[in-house]
Chains A and B, each alone.
Chain A
Amino acid sequence: MTSSNEALAQTASSADAASDSTEESGAARGAQGRGTPPSDTSWRSRLYRWDMKASPYAFIAPFFIIFGAFSLVPLLYTAWYSLHNVQLSSLDSQTWAGLKNYTNLFDSEFFWNALGNTFTIGVISTVPQLIVAIWLAHMLNYRLRGSIVWRVVMLTPYATSVAAATLVFVLLFSPDNGMINWALDLVGIDPVNWRESDWGSQLAVSSIVIWRWTGYNALIYLAAMQAIPADLYESAALDGANRWQQFRHVTVPMLRPTILFTVVVSTIGATQLFGEPLLFGGVSGTKGGSQHQYQTLGLYMYDQGWINGNLGKAAAIAWSMFLILLVIAAINLLITRRLRKAQ
Chain B
Amino acid sequence: MRTARTSRRAMTFAVVAALATGLLAGCASDDGDDSGGAGGSGDKEGATTLTVGTFGTFGYKQAGLYDEYMKLHKNITIKENVTTRTDVYWPKTLTRLQAGSGTDDIQAIEIGNITEAVQTQANKFVDLGKEVDKSQWLDWKNKQATTKDGKLIGLGTDVGPMAICYRKDLFKKAGLPTDRTKLAEMWKGDWAKYVDVGKDYMKKAPSGTKFVDSASSVYNAALGGAKDRYYDKSGNVIWDKSEGVKKSWDASMEVATSNMSAKLKQFDKPWDQGFANAKFATVACPAWMVGYIQEKSGDAGEGKWDIAAAPTAANWGGSFIGVPTASKHQKEAIALAKWLTAPAQQAKVFAKQASFPSTPSAYSTLKPKAETLAYFSDAPLTQIFSDSAKTIPVQIFGIKDQPINTAITDTGILQVEQKGKSPEQGWDAATSEVKDVLGQ
B391-406 near A? 1/0 per residue, CB < 8 Å = 0000000011001001
- Say yes or no: is B35 at the interface (Cβ < 8 Å to chain A): no
- Knowing A108-B436, A284-B406, the reply to whether A306 touches B270 (Cβ < 8 A) is no
CA distance A290 to B419 in the complex (A): 11
Of the candidates A92, A109, A283, A308, the one whose C-beta lies within 8 Å of that of B432 is: A109
- Let me know if B400 and A308 touch, CB within 8 A: yes
Most chain B CB neighbours (cut-off 10 Å) among A290, A304, A309, A313? A309
- Let me know if A290 and B415 touch, CB within 8 A: yes
CA distance A286 to B120 in the complex (A): 25
- Knowing A176-B269, A284-B406, A284-B410, the reply to whether A308 touches B415 (Cβ < 8 A) is no
- Say yes or no: is B439 at the interface (Cβ < 8 Å to chain A): yes
Contacting chain A: which of B44-52, B90-98, B296-304?
A: B90-98
Of the candidates B87, B94, B410, B438, the one whose C-beta lies within 8 Å of that of A290 is: B410
- Let me know if A91 and B414 touch, CB within 8 A: no
> For residue B91, which residues in chain A have a CB less than 8 angstroms away from its CB?
88, 306-307, 309
A108-141 near B? 1/0 per residue, CB < 8 Å = 1110000000000000000000000000000000
- Knowing A176-B270, A313-B439, the reply to whether A290 touches B98 (Cβ < 8 A) is no
- Let me know if B415 and A92 touch, CB within 8 A: no
CA distance A286 to B403 in the complex (A): 12
> For residue A242, which residues in chain B have a CB less than 8 angstroms away from its CB?
none
- Let me know if A290 and B400 touch, CB within 8 A: no
> For residue A310, which residues in chain B have a CB less than 8 angstroms away from its CB?
438-439
- Knowing A110-B436, A313-B439, the reply to whether A91 touches B98 (Cβ < 8 A) is yes
- Let me know if A290 and B269 touch, CB within 8 A: no
- Say yes or no: is A287 at the interface (Cβ < 8 Å to chain B): yes
- Say yes or no: is A90 at the interface (Cβ < 8 Å to chain B): yes
A66-94 near B? 1/0 per residue, CB < 8 Å = 00000000000000000000011111100
B411-440 near A? 1/0 per residue, CB < 8 Å = 100110010000000000000100011111
CA distance A176 to B439 in the complex (A): 36
- Knowing A176-B269, A286-B87, the reply to whether A307 touches B403 (Cβ < 8 A) is yes
Chain A residue with Cβ nearest B87: A307
Chain B residue with Cβ nearest A196: B418
A260-297 near B? 1/0 per residue, CB < 8 Å = 00000000000000000000000110110011000000
A12-52 near B? 1/0 per residue, CB < 8 Å = 00000000000000000000000000000000000000000
- Let me know if B410 and A308 touch, CB within 8 A: no
- Say yes or no: is A104 at the interface (Cβ < 8 Å to chain B): yes
CA distance A104 to B437 in the complex (A): 12
CA distance A92 to B120 in the complex (A): 10
- Knowing A287-B410, A290-B411, A306-B91, the reply to whether A89 touches B436 (Cβ < 8 A) is no
Interface size on B, residues (CB 8 A): 28
Most chain A CB neighbours (cut-off 10 Å) among B94, B269, B406, B415? B94
State the Cβ distance, A178 to closest chain B Cβ, in Å.
12
> For residue A312, which residues in chain B have a CB less than 8 angstroms away from its CB?
439
Chain B residue with Cβ nearest A93: B120
Chain A residue with Cβ nearest B411: A290
Chain B residue with Cβ nearest A92: B98
- Let me know if B414 and A290 touch, CB within 8 A: yes
- Let me know if A90 and B436 touch, CB within 8 A: no
- Let me know if A90 and B120 touch, CB within 8 A: yes
> For residue A176, which residues in chain B have a CB less than 8 angstroms away from its CB?
269-270
- Knowing A109-B432, A284-B406, the reply to whether A89 touches B399 (Cβ < 8 A) is yes
CB within 8 Å of B: which of A228-283?
283
- Let me know if B95 and A88 touch, CB within 8 A: yes
CA distance A309 to B98 in the complex (A): 14
CA distance A87 to B400 in the complex (A): 11
> For residue B399, which residues in chain A have a CB less than 8 angstroms away from its CB?
89, 309
CA distance A91 to B120 in the complex (A): 10
State the Cβ distance, B388 to closest chain A Cβ, in Å.
27
CB within 8 Å of A: which of B92-144?
94-95, 98, 116, 119-121
State the Cβ distance, B26 to closest chain A Cβ, in Å.
21
> For residue A287, which residues in chain B have a CB less than 8 angstroms away from its CB?
410-411
- Let me know if A283 and B400 touch, CB within 8 A: no
B47-75 near A? 1/0 per residue, CB < 8 Å = 00000000000000000000000000000
What are 12 A-B contacts defined by CB distance under 8 Å?
A88-B94, A89-B120, A91-B95, A104-B439, A108-B436, A110-B436, A287-B410, A290-B411, A291-B411, A304-B436, A312-B439, A313-B439
**B residues apposed to A, CB below 8 Å:** 85, 87, 91, 94-95, 98, 116, 119-121, 267, 269-270, 399-400, 403, 406, 410-411, 414-415, 418, 432, 436-440
With A89-B116, A310-B438 known, 9 other A-B pairs at CB within 8 A are A87-B120, A89-B94, A89-B120, A89-B121, A104-B439, A176-B270, A308-B439, A309-B94, A309-B399
A-B CB proximity, top 10 nearest: A310-B439, A89-B120, A306-B91, A308-B437, A90-B120, A313-B439, A91-B98, A89-B116, A290-B414, A308-B403
